[in-house]
Amino acid sequence: MAYQSASELTKMMLEYLKDNGNEVWRNNNLAVRGRAFIGRKGVPDIIGYSKKYGYFVCCEIKAIGDRLSSDQMMFLEELSMAGGCAMLCQQVRDETIKITIFKDGDNEDWVFVNGELKK
């Protein structure tokens, strides 16, 4: 698998999450020139909810070279503690796509292989 851009990783995760029973969408949180930021810092790139269970679902996307901010990490951890499902999708140097799932205050690392999550 070749290295992927953040946009490609986002499309991949949107498709995966939708195919697995979630209503999710890309969260546009880019700064607008000339306007003060008025949202909540750290909100992930993908947000939505589980259609089956009703809990909040989110996923932060990080391409190679991108780093998670403390605000982003805090959001993922707080959502996990509140009963939601938070994910961090990042491609690592060996081209592996690692998914960290935060649920109920705990986290597990998975790997994305051929369209499926594997432990």
For CA atoms 93, 96, 102, 107, the dihedral sign is negative
| pLDDT tens-digit readout, 70-101 | 999 999 999 999 999 999 999 988 889 999 99
The residue written with tokens 């020139």 in the block is 33
Strands 85-91 and 106-113 turn out to be: unpaired
pTM, full prediction: 0.91
Q: How many helices (H) and strands (E) does the chain have?
A: 2, 7
Q: What is the mean pLDDT of residues 23-52?
A: 87
Question: What is the pLDDT confidence band of residue 1, given thresholds at 50, 70 and 90?
Answer: low
